[in-house]
A and B are shown apart, each in its own frame.
Chain A
Amino acid sequence: DIVMTQSPDSLTVSLGERATINCKSSQSILFSSENKNYLAWYRQTPGQPPKLLIYWASTRGSGVPDRFSGSGSGTDFTLTISSLQAEDVAVYYCQQYYNAPPTFGGGTKVEI
């Protein structure tokens, strides 16, 4: 199985400031012939299910604000929240869907 490792485990950011979360896969999740990275990001607020933010490493999901952006390729990826809002206090997960089983990172808790 592909192992997804996130860092940091938690971070504290002021409202309006930038938050950066990293995710590393144990093998490349770039499908070369398509030039697509099979990487998604989710946000989970307390008591709620995860919400899809980003897929194909950098494509925002439906209705996702443009303060969320994804980057990276191969094995190293980043989720950036450009200007943290109160509703962004949550745990963020990366997930690979290159191979079955799909696997998730351990999560990064973002606090204010």
Chain B
Amino acid sequence: QVQLVQSGPEVKKPGASVKVSCKASGYIISNTDISWVRQAPGQGLEWLGWISSENGNMDYARSVQGRVTVTTDTSTSTAYMELRGLRSDDTAIYFCARGVRGGPNDVFDLWGQGTMVTVSS
């Protein structure tokens, strides 16, 4: 079964870091680009960043630039998103998503189940 399986919920204090994983099964993660999208409680969707399967290039949203890093480990077919300097407004569900065409401006045909990250003192 082709799917993206993400790590479990996280609770962090302001200023801490979180690293969310996204493991691909049923297909080879290195064949497709991965983006990360978040959704604050009751809100819409916000694209955060992208990593290329072809050359490892990355691109990030201005809203999190400098605080976010996306990586992939092809040996374990897993993508990661690390967000540093957490603030209360980073509280959200974080999704990984598979790009169809390649590039940061992509359409997403497969999504992880989401990881809830709560930032609270």
Contacts and interface: CB of A to CB of B under 8 A. Distances in A.
A21 interface: no
A42 B112 CA distance: 14
Contacts of A48: 113
Given A50-B45, A93-B45, A107-B44, A102 B109 contact: no
A104 B44 contact: yes
A97 B45 contact: no
Contacts, number: 59
A97 B45 CA distance: 14
A100 B104 contact: yes
A101 B46 CA distance: 10
Interface residues of A, number: 24
Contacts of B111: 49-51
A49 B113 CA distance: 6
Interface in A44-93: 48-52, 55, 61-62, 93
A96 to B, nearest CB: 8
B104 A52 contact: no
A104 B46 contact: yes
A22 interface: no
A40 B107 contact: yes
> Is the interface on chain B under 10, 10 to 19, 20 to 34, or 35 or more residues?
20 to 34
Contact of B47 (A103, A105, A107): A103
A61 B44 contact: no
Contacts of B11: none
Contact of B105 (A51, A55, A102, A107): A102
Contacts of B108: 40, 42, 50, 52
B95 A106 contact: no
Given A49-B113, A49-B114, A104 B105 contact: no
Interface string A31-50: 00000001010100000111
Interface of B: 35, 44-47, 50, 59, 61-62, 95, 97, 100-101, 103-109, 111-114
Given A51-B111, A52-B108, 5 more contacts: A50-B45, A55-B100, A62-B109, A100-B59, A107-B44
Cβ-closest 9 pairs across A and B = A49-B111, A100-B104, A104-B45, A100-B105, A40-B107, A97-B105, A55-B107, A52-B109, A106-B44
